[in-house]
Amino acid sequence: MKSTVDQIRRRFDADVERFSNLETGQSATIDAPLVLELITQAAAAINPHASSILDIGCGAGNYTLKLLQALPHLDVTLVDLSRPMLERAVERIRPATSGQITPIQADIRALEPVEAQYDIIMAAAVFHHLREDAEWERVFRRCYMALKPGGSLWISDLIEHSTPVVQSLMWARYGDYLTRFKDESYREQVFGYIAKEDTPRPLMFQLDLLRQVGFRQVEILHKNSCFAAFGGIKRRN
């Protein structure tokens, strides 16, 4: 049995500090600083006149903080399961923008954003918590709906591979990374909560789903082992 939403929330409530470093990003993620740069640079390049952003699974606010370096004064909507994460994100982001900050404590599956409300949506290390394919489609479709014409959705996440032998190879490489970063016990800790909490999908599944819900332009920014950064751009009217 996978963890419940409440169990996942409690783990993140107790793990705020690990998500509060803009230089390192999330330490358990391969190439976290690079992906942070790539996604925020791509978002700023595609939507240079953006006025609003939705940060899904915002954690302590790293992605929004990085984007505000390129696009200051955005109105920011932050969504996360964890109240302590939201509080830290607001605390860190408030000095970085004169725009409005709206924190929302919610499960992304229950989120029903207003149509054509945001220029940019970012979702970092969050969609792998989705379960059945229908949930994935519903969340991707709602993201598409919530974007203004010409807006963009950017995702960085844990992924799996469709071919078992390739999945085993990439999983072993990820395990080596975690061991080098700390030690074998850290690797087992991370593997343990992934097995209990997460249901990642292949990159190609997600790219196809982006197109299925309406995105006509899809971009891959980076992929290394079991992690990828990618996005979709909504067509202008």
The string of pLDDT tens digits covering residues 24-50 is 667 889 999 999 999 999 999 999 999
What's the pTM value of the predicted model, to 2 decimals?
0.94
**pLDDT the model gives residue 156:** 97
Q: Is the pLDDT of residue 63 over 80?
A: yes
* pLDDT grade for 207, boundaries at 50, 70 and 90: very high
The string of pLDDT tens digits covering residues 69-119 is 999 999 999 999 999 999 999 999 999 999 999 999 999 898 888 899 999
The string of pLDDT tens digits covering residues 170-201 is 999 999 999 999 999 999 999 998 999 999 99
**pLDDT the model gives residue 57:** 94
Domains of the chain: 5-160+200-233 (3.40.50.150)
Mean pLDDT of 61-65: 96
125: alpha, beta or left, given left = phi > 0 and alpha = psi -120 to 50?
left
The string of pLDDT tens digits covering residues 138-174 is 999 999 999 999 999 999 999 999 999 999 999 999 9
**pLDDT the model gives residue 25:** 67
Mean pLDDT of 3-11: 87
Mean pLDDT of 16-22: 74
Q: Is the pLDDT of residue 17 over 80?
A: no
With contact defined as beta carbons under 8 Å apart, do 118 and 92 qualify?
no
